[in-house]
Amino acid sequence: MTTTATRPQLAYLHDQLEDLKQKGTYFRLRVLDDRQEPECTFDGKHVINLASNNYLGLTTHPKLIEAALEATRKYGVGPGAVRTIAGTMRLHMDLEEKLARFKNVEACVVFQSGFTANAGTVSAILGKEDFIVSDELNHASIIDGARLSRAKILVYRHKDVAHAEEQLASVKDQPGRKLLITDGVFSMDGDIGPLPGLCAVAEKYGAIMMVDDAHSSGVLGRNGRGTIDHFGVHGRVDIQVGTLSKAIGAIGGYVCGSRDLIEFLYHRARPFLFSTSHPPSVTATCIAAIDVLEQEPERIEKLWENTRFFKKELGLLGFNIGGVTTPASETPITPILVGDGRLTMDFSRELFAEGVMATGIAFPTVPEGKARIRTIMTATHTQDQLQRALGVLKKVGKKLGIIG
């Protein structure tokens, strides 16, 4: 007998897992046996990988690997403390300066992840007298930050600038501060936040403007500078969040903005104050990745070429990739909308059995009835891999009646 078997106190968790099994949305973690690449091995099975956020193929880039190894040899494996005590290394400052220059802002602070960057920032800058006006599909880390701040949360319909304005107008005579916040690219639908409209509305009501560019970092804008650059709204977004965990290929998140904003977060953002910073290997990897973004723009071009091809082919096969009642994706994220959670999970399992890794996503990650397979293109998928993946999608889609 193991000493960790569920005792009666936690039996309700077992019941809830049984419930998920009944509903068909219980899952096991798929385990990657080798490298995060377009063709790899999960659970011992060779598959074409349509599920990772490794947009530019940087998880295995030789220059990044070398940077991580060199930093480890030189500086060891860990920083030994939180940033504010003794854990700020020269490399941490170098990365923050590099990101600030890349984004053309005064200053930058790096967090352990995009999640902590969002949650730590929103909860630090607002209090219970304040208001957060938030897109209904914003990322969970924004929602958690909003809850932690204890500010009042006003949700607006997805990408609906007029509704965001209504929400701001409804509290304009209240004394609290207002924060208008959107994802740059929405992670489950792949559509782009309406930044110019939102910036105008934020300016009209004197609201703080914040954008979470997790899925746009390295993907949109010049050399992957994100949606602010994509739309040319420089100087109109007070707080830009990015991630180092997706296209950048490592792990981490960052906040870019004015020097005052960053200094304030150094003093008040709880993940910064109470959780240890990145090891030197991670920081050096990210520094090398920004160089790659500037030196190898052909990766981003290839990413978009693959994206255009794959989207077109999915549409031709008859899959519902959004556009009528749901937004159409404008980025390398292309959801295949199925609707029913159980059918979605069956679809994903059958695809895997046929050699395609495409994760099913159901409630609570997406709303009930909006379950989907999410596909993500990368720069490193070959034409041959994409053709084979499309062949499997067609075969399994027909077999399960998802396409005619």
Give the footprint of ligand PLP on this chain (CB under 6 A).
113-115, 118, 139, 141, 183, 187, 212, 214-215, 243, 245, 253
Q: Which amino acid is at 191?
A: D
* CB nearer to ligand PLP: pick between 61 and 374: 374
Say how far apart CA 355 and CA 34 lie, in whole Å. 16
Q: Which of 215, 230, 302, 370 is catalytic?
A: 215
Cα four-point dihedral sign 395, 396, 398, 399: positive
Residue 215 or 396: which CB sits closer to ligand PLP? 215
- Smallest distance from ligand PLP to CB 46, Å: 26
CB of 316 to ligand PLP, least distance (A): 28
**Which are the contacts of 26, defined by CB distance < 8 A and separation ≥ 6?**
17, 20
Contact 144, 119 (CB under 8 A): yes
From the candidates 61, 92, 246, 381, which is the catalytic residue?
246
For ligand PLP, the nearest residue by Cβ is 114
Least gap, CB of 183 to ligand PLP (angstroms): 5
246 is known as an active-site residue: yes
User: Which residue number, 144 or 166, has a Cβ lying nearer to ligand PLP?
Assistant: 144
CB of 118 to ligand PLP, least distance (A): 6
Residues 42, 218: Cα–Cα separation, whole Å = 26
Q: Can you read off the two tokens belonging to residue 89?
A: 């290394």
- CA 190/CA 184 separation, integer angstroms: 10
Q: Which is nearer to ligand PLP, 165 or 212 (CB)?
A: 212
Name which of 86, 255, 129 is nearest 181 in CA terms.
255
Closest residue by Cα to residue 139 from 181, 111, 108, 168: 181
Provide the Cα torsion 271, 190, 159, 215; round to 10°: 30
Residue 253 beta carbon to ligand PLP: minimum distance, rounded to whole angstroms: 5
Which is nearer to ligand PLP, 242 or 322 (by Cβ)? Answer: 242
Q: Is 187 in the active site?
A: yes
Exposed / middle / buried, residue 13 (Cβ in 10 Å: 0-12, 13-18, 19+): exposed
Rounded to the nearest angstrom, the gap between the alpha carbon of residue 298 and the centroid of all alpha carbons in its chain is: 22
Q: Which is nearer to ligand PLP, 211 or 345 (CB)?
A: 211
Q: Which residue's CB is nearer to ligand PLP, number 378 or number 385? A: 378
Backbone angles phi and psi of 294, in degrees to 5? -80, -30
Q: How many CA atoms lie within 13 A of 188 on its CB side?
A: 19
User: Quick one: tokens of 227?
Assistant: 């949606």
Question: Minimum Å distance from CB 132 to ligand PLP?
Answer: 15
Q: How far is the CB of 52 from ligand PLP (least distance, A)?
A: 12
Q: List residues bridging with 49 in a β-sheet.
A: 357
Residue 215 is among the residues annotated as catalytic for this protein: yes
Write out the catalytic residue numbers. 187, 215, 246
